[in-house]
Structure 1
């Protein structure tokens, strides 16, 4: 007599990648279940990766549901029990919707400070464990040189190099710390020799201007601004920020820039052409 044991398999399922934006909308990573015969309901555990800043649902709306879709496109939902540390959900008596192929998924999103790059959830389905669809987390905002190049005459009047900030699809970007650093050894200064200027100007997506006063470093090479509203409330909205600098009498001729650090993002400013 030959005994044949039927088993189901669990593999990453759904689209190739689930794209999340820090602080943005939820995505739906999941797994695929394949079997030739029916199985009794099983327990399913879904675990978030440790220390990556993901959560079930979003920051404003938790979601503890598991959705199971059968080969015909019909779905069933199950409500899970959240672990005390908030890192896993357990679903009891889940019908795998086999024989055939089914797909199951949960809703997850990324905190504003979530780690960037690729990760995944762990699904344990009836004792069988598989990574979910790959999750790729991208920045909540980007910073890039803003505006046309500016020309600074040695010993002349100030210019206003800056950067552009773009919302990549997130909600309520937190206030940020902005640091602006002069290039070393160039003789550039904030403001002019007779009129220092320690201000940051933000022109937000609605056309309103806000001015922040910064703290100058001991060596005079950088300004730090606290609790800066980036002024980009909506997906795709953009703002521009700038500082006032001038070239000294001995500043080398040529192209340079100041460096803007906005939170953890860093970008050179508009090009400064020194003549």
Structure 2
């Protein structure tokens, strides 16, 4: 019990600051002055913040809703909630096409309330004031985010600050916009023979759009671009009834590498959309026998081509 003129209080969980006034968000109304002159007794609300289940985002794809569960056995006055994007992870508020600055609060009975936040100057944080968490009980809160086309892959999370108490959000797993893999079944490639067309398959993992990417193709040892009838420095991209495009590459100094800038992969629009790309090569008379592949780099994705069995 505090002495005359002294306010009783204790450290708020997770803040490191001393609470001590009726204006503090963790003050529980209804205890009051206890009918004693110059003496205040405060009751503090304990609450827990628990991240939800993992969410997935695809580079350039649809949104996800990372958040927290807030639980308490006591009531809580309206609070300030701040949500911050992880630094350097290229996440966006809302979708690729439409920003979303809302926090959704869902009560235990399923009813929802949306709050519009104030965006920080650097665009990395949203602050929501006078948020009613509808405690006691368990409340779920979340925001809407998506991953930019160049968002780094792997796990990350937002940071929630609820009345001075911080927690990571639901873990967010960012996956690549495309998958690149060898196309077709192995083919025979006799030494000194005609050209073959090794290639790779590109698959859209859920991105709404796929920007043009640089494609690099590297010859295996003992191979040449084209065939005995002449060189070939083209890349063909085919998506069936969605079209075919041919690109002319630029040779490296030693002519073992072809680079094709700004290639439309023809896989934009929907998850599961696929295309195939290939080049024309052939083994020389001195090519090593055995399996060989062209190394393809599509953006930052690396894959071997169709296997060529040199005989």
Do both share a fold (TM > 0.5)? yes
Q: Is the 8 A contact 2:242 2:266 kept in 1?
A: no
TM-score (norm 2): 0.85
Give TM-score scaled by structure 1 length: 0.96
In structure 1, how many angstroms separate the alpha carbons of the residues matched to 2:131 and 2:141?
10
DSSP-derived class of the 2:241 partner: coil
* Count of residues in correspondence between the two structures: 271
Equivalence for 1:101: 138
CA contact (8 A) 1:143 1:163 kept: yes
Task: Kindly state the Cα deviation for residue 253 of structure 1 after the two structures are TM-superposed.
Answer: 1.0
- 2:271 aligned with 1:271: no
Find 1:49's aligned residue among 86, 98, 109.
86
Residues 120 and 135, structure 1, Cα contact 8 Å, conserved in 2: yes
Measured against aligned partners, the alpha-carbon deviations of 1:106-153 in whole angstroms (never above 9, x if no partner) come to 000000100000000000011110000000000000000011212111
Gaps of 5+ in 1: none
Contact 2:202–2:276, Cα closer than 8 Å, also in 1 = yes
Asked whether the equivalents of residues 205 and 232 of structure 1 are also in contact (C-alpha less than 8 Å), the reply is no
Secondary structure at the residue paired with 1:206? Answer: helix
Structure scoring higher RCO (CA < 8 A, sep ≥ 6) equals 1
Q: Using the TM superposition, give the Cα deviation of residue 86 of structure 1 relative to its aligned residue in structure 2, in angstroms.
A: 1.1
Which entry has the higher C-alpha Rg, 1 or 2?
Answer: 2
Partner of 2:182: 145
Equivalent residue number for residue 44 of structure 2: 5
The equivalent residue for 2:169 is 132
Q: CA deviation at 1:4?
A: 5.6
Residue 290 of structure 2 corresponds to 254
Can you list the C-alpha shifts for 1:37-89, whole angstroms capped at 9, x where unaligned? Answer: 11110010000000001011012011000000111111100001111211110
What residue ranges of structure 2 are gaps of 5+ in the alignment?
Answer: 2-40
Residue 237 (structure 1) aligned with residue 276 (structure 2): no
**Residue 34 of structure 1 contacts residue 98 of structure 1 at CA under 8 Å; is this kept in 2?**
yes
Name the counterpart of 1:19. Answer: 56
C-alpha separation in 1, matches of 2:154 and 2:200: 24
1:26-105 correspondence to structure 2 within 5 Å: 26-105=63-142
RMSD (Å) for aligned C-alpha atoms: 1.3
**Structure 1 position 207, deviation (Å):** 4.5
More strand per residue: 1
Corresponding residue for residue 27 of structure 2 = none
- Find the aligned partners of 2:96 and 2:193 in 1 and give their Cα distance: 50
* SS of equivalent residue, structure 1 residue 225: strand
- Are 2:148 and 1:111 equivalent residues in the alignment? yes
Moved runs in structure 1, 4+ residues, more than 6 A? none
